[in-house]
Amino acid sequence: MTTRRDLIKSIPSLGAAFALAGDGIFEAGMARAEAAPLPAPGHFHPKGKAPSKFTLDVLKHARDTLPFDDVRDFEEQKKGLIAPMPELKIMAADGHVAWDMERFKFLDERDSYDSVHPSLLRQSKLNNNYGLYEVIPGIYQVRGADLSDLTFVRGKTGWIVFDPLVSAETVRAALDLFQKHVGQGLPVTAVIYSHTHGDHWGGVRGLISDEDVRAGKVEVIAPGGFMQFAVSENVFAGNAMNRRLFYQYGVLLPASPYGYVGQGLGQGVSSGTSGLIAPTRLVERPIEEFEVDGVRMVFQNTPNTEAPREMNTYIPDMKALWTAENVTATLHNIYTLRGAPVRDPLNWSKYINEALYRYGQEAEVMFASHHWPRWGNARIQEVLRAQRDLYANMNNQVLHFANQGVTINQIHNVYEVPKSLQTKWYCRGYHGSPQHNSRGVVQRYLGFWDCNPATLIPLSPADSAPLYVEMMGGAAKIVARGRELHDQGQYLLASDIMNKLVQAQPDNQEAKDLLADIFEQIGYQQENPGLRNSFLAGAYELRSGIPQGQSADSASPDVIRAMSTELFLDFLAIRMDSRKAGDLRFTVNLVTPDNGEKFVIELENATLTNIKGFQAPKPDLTLTISRSDLEKTMTGAKPLEAQIKDGTARAEGDVGLLKKLAVAMVNFDPRFEILPGTKARTSLPPEDPFEADDIRHVIAE
């Protein structure tokens, strides 16, 4: 069983991975909090509070109106099954559970639950496809062993593998299953990373080794710019993203009908060992064709779609189209709740359209890095056209409304996906939702402001809320009215006024409990797992507080090594609290002779800056250290001051500046408070009975 303690320990944070510890300016690695017990369930009801009659009506309406008679997804999902995965639990190297499908048995025990949206339950049942499948002869997938699928394509001398999951442990289990039934003992001859998100490369060391790559036995192929974006997308706001993942991915929720029921793209994210082996070949041009282990492949670069760098692949001799994560069985995220630059839905739509006309006219099978394949050219064209129109409509119609004055605070109540697309299961919002995606489109083009001057420089909620409470007649009246609205099923109105009270009175547990009850009902009603998880996570924290425990271990050394020196220095500038820098002023020259890099680092005006390729004529300090040795400091293996002391690094000038700068550095903690009055608790029993999911730092879906 994976406890919440195991979970908190296993969430790496790129943001925290570069924390400054001790006295050295570049002494990186995790800033570990003292281990402390996690909270017991507290006010959290093990089975959740019962859904209200209003929630039951919402779910009944969905059951009565959605096209449940269309069962093609179930037919496609089970097609080609060769063997189920025998182990429901896959263990990690250190003995904890890296992957646990036993938690999701409840999904198949009943046709409906009164606390789960029927459409979401349907998707989660489909994601219980746990085993080895034949796509067509020569193409196979292991599905359900992680958030993403592992795909094998027969090459001339071995197997070409697409997208090796999150963890080496789940990849090894999938590879063992594959080799037992299909693989014939042939080696992996190539690995293809379809895009930069970590559930598509993190388990690569379960397949291949550095030695095999260096010896030329294995080719590693990725879209151009892969290494830069595989690291950079999660760095600058990494700690905040990790905290927000607790909500989007329901990290603290038990897997149950009253809690976590899956993530839409898959059942969850594994918590094993994540690594990264750099590509040996990059696809740079918009369209490139070449052979991979004797198999002719056509690569279609699709940058700035689902990921900053992504590519589809067509295998013409098999008439097989790989759509990476650009086309899956869901509406994807335009704006992702964990936080990320808003994606470009029009660009996304155009690349799907290009795939339709380049390859979709003849393809006979379409498969991807999540969910299940589609067979037959008519079915493939149907899905491609609908997904193309889904993203284009969201872009165009949201902007149509925006150009008529509909604001970011209104659009989610105005925009609707066209009825013809709502009836297609693969256009439903199992990862992105129409509500938060439509707001994302407005944000992309117009930003956060709704153009009402009253909202341009608003007070912080905690500053304005006391006046609201006073004008509404005080806490007792608000609680009474909030309870009335709750009992009437007007949950959004109830949450609005109760949130004001909780903001004004963070210690008012009665108010927090009522707001939690309200959030819970809203969560039960959601089709989208990110929305469901967020409301249920908010309810959990209002009742029980934020769990305390160890901070996560540092990000994998592979990922740290992949970071550019410039990116590392930029993040140090984010780590520095300008208010603590005072009048400190200095210039440092940094030289890494093994790779020929030079930097000027300056602190002035309480701002830390760097510029690559220059050296200051009269620096206060010059640091000379090889990039390979600097990586030891970046990963926390060896503090910089120790490297200076033993001569690995040379320092000329005022070394004491590093200690002065270290004082201004802050260790980010991914347990910061989101809802008032939910600060971490440390005095409750150390264990709880709930199993939990793990979210890796590299997940940027």
Q: How many CB atoms lie within 10 A of CB 434?
A: 24
CB 42 within 8 A of CB 543: yes
Distance CA 656, CA 643 (A): 15
Residue intervals of the chain classified under CATH 1.25.40.880 are: 454-525
Query: What is the distance in angstroms between the CA of the first residue and the CA of the last residue of the chain?
Result: 26
The rounded distance, in Å, linking the Cα atoms of 130 and 373 is 15
- As a dihedral over the C-alpha atoms of residue 220, residue 222, residue 225, residue 228, rounded to 10 degrees, the angle is -60
Q: Helices marked H in 426-564 — which ranges?
A: 434-446, 461-471, 475-487, 491-504, 509-524, 529-544, 557-562
Closest CA to 145 of 96, 187, 178: 178
Residue with tokens 């918009």: 286
Contact 67, 423 (CB under 8 A): yes
Task: Find where tokens 């967020």 sit.
Answer: 534
pLDDT at 12: 34
Cα-based distances in Å from 138 to 80, 134, 178:
12, 8, 12
Widest CA span in the chain: 77
Specify the pLDDT at position 483: 98
For residues 224 and 195, what is the distance between their CA atoms, to the nearest angstrom? 10
Q: Where in the chain is the domain with CATH 3.60.15.30?
A: 53-295
pTM of the model: 0.91
Q: Bridge partners of 161? A: 152, 191
Contact 349, 391 (CB under 8 A): yes
Q: What is the C-alpha separation between 105 and 257, in angstroms, rounded?
A: 11
Question: In this predicted structure, what is the pLDDT of residue 355?
Answer: 98
Smallest Cα–Cα separation from 688: which of 538, 533, 550, 547? 547
- Residue carrying structure tokens 């925006």: 402
Low-confidence ranges of the chain (pLDDT < 50): 1-46, 551-554, 682-699
Listed in sequence order, the residues at least 6 apart from 431 whose beta carbon sits closer than 8 Å to its beta carbon are: 263, 264, 265, 328, 330, 331, 332, 333, 528, 529, 530, 701
* Percentage of the chain lying above the pLDDT 70 cut: 89
- State the Cα–Cα distance between residues 128 and 80, nearest whole angstrom: 15
Domain 53-295 sits in which CATH superfamily? Metallo-beta-lactamase domain (3.60.15.30)
Contacting residues for 355 by C-beta, under 8 A, at least 6 apart: 300, 312, 314, 321, 323, 326, 327, 384
Looking at the chain, the domain(s) classified CATH 3.30.1050.10 span 4-32+562-663
CATH superfamily of 4-32+562-663: SCP2 sterol-binding domain (3.30.1050.10)
**Helices assigned H by DSSP within 151-233:** 168-178, 210-214, 226-232
Give the span between the Cα atoms of 391 and 426, in whole angstroms. Answer: 12
Domain 454-525: which CATH number of 1.25.40.880, 3.30.1360.120, 1.20.200.10, 2.60.120.430: 1.25.40.880
47, two tokens: 């089975």
The whole-number pLDDT of residue 557 equals 82
Interhelix angle 529-544/509-524, nearest 10 degrees: 160
What was the pLDDT predicted at 47?
54
* pLDDT computed for residue 188 by the predictor: 98
pLDDT in tens, 2-45: 333 333 333 333 333 222 222 333 433 322 222 223 333 333 44
Q: By the 8 A CB rule, do 171 and 157 touch?
A: no
> Per the structure block, which two tokens stand in for 598?
């030079």
